[in-house]
């Protein structure tokens, strides 16, 4: 899904934050645009640190765009998605 260069970039950022690559991607894909945290500039990155914003515009990473498109296509309306509090509370 990622080119070697794209994966190296993602791996470097995830390592810098002290999180696994899968967690870095999950956080980047699930943080709404208006709720994105600012990049963490702390010298001592720790587990649970916020993931920097991901550029989704025309200059964004093609692999990330493909990944997000795949997630959007896989989620069907009314389907429960982990972390979806509204669906969980309504019993859907």
Kindly report, residue by residue over 21-78, the tens digit of the pLDDT: 888 888 887 766 555 555 554 444 445 556 556 666 666 667 777 777 776 666 555 5
Is the whole-model pTM more than 0.85? no
Tell me if 47 sits within 8 A of 19, measured CB to CB.
yes
Per-residue tokens: 87? 């669906």
As a whole number of Å, the CA-based R_g of the chain is 15
Extents of the domains making up the chain: 4-90
Contacts of 45 (CB under 8 A, 6+ apart): 16, 17, 18
């Amino acid at each position: 899904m990622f080119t070697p260069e794209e994966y190296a970039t993602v791996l470097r950022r995830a390592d810098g934050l002290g999180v696994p690559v899968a967690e870095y991607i999950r956080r980047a894909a699930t943080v709404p645009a208006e709720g994105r945290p600012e990049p963490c500039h702390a010298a001592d990155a720790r587990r649970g640190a916020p993931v920097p914003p991901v550029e989704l515009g025309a200059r964004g990473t093609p692999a990330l765009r493909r990944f997000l498109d795949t997630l959007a296509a896989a989620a069907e309306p009314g389907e429960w998605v982990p972390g979806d509090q509204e669906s969980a509370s309504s019993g859907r």
